[in-house]
Amino acid sequence: MTVTEETAPTSHYERIGGASSVKAAVDVFYDKVLADPELAGYFTDVDMPAQRRHMVLMLTVVLGGPNEYAGRGLAEAHQPLNIPPAHYALVGGHLTDTLTELGVPGDVIADVQAVLAQVQDQVVAGGTRAGV
């Protein structure tokens, strides 16, 4: 172990229980997304096991865990999908609901929400914040 690892503050990722907790959260999250009639259509032709893996790696980075994400950038993956702000808000709501249900501390959820706000322009069509 390096000095940095010994002295660094505990990350959100560690606090919520590491890889197995993030994986459990992503499973619950995509179950909610796929059960939402407004959103399910986006994922009809998507390889969901791969999608869940990518989201686990990305959420790990957001929570301050190890960065092993090697997928496409958010804009590259989402701009072709023409996602309106309302659908972005629905997805964000499902993620927040998931973390709340799993007992994730409020300050961690607040930081995740801050990241959601920061990356919205990359995901939503045309990068507009209109309607939010």
Q: Which residues bind ligand HEM (CB under 6 A)?
A: 39, 42-43, 46, 51, 54-55, 58, 71-72, 77-78, 81, 83, 87-88, 91, 116, 119, 123
Spatial separation of the C-alpha atoms in residues 82 and 13, rounded to whole Å: 31
* Closest distance to ligand HEM from the beta carbon of 7 (Å): 30
Nearer to ligand HEM, 17 or 84 (CB): 84
Nearer to ligand HEM, 8 or 48 (CB): 48
- Residue number of the CB atom closest to ligand HEM: 71
Rounded to the nearest whole angstrom, what is the least distance from the CB of residue 5 to ligand HEM in the complex?
26
Q: At a CB cut-off of 8 Å and minimum separation 6, what does 99 contact?
A: 25, 108, 109, 112
What end-to-end distance do the CA atoms of the chain give, in Å?
A: 44
In this structure, are residues 121 and 127 in contact, taking their beta carbons and an 8 Å threshold? yes
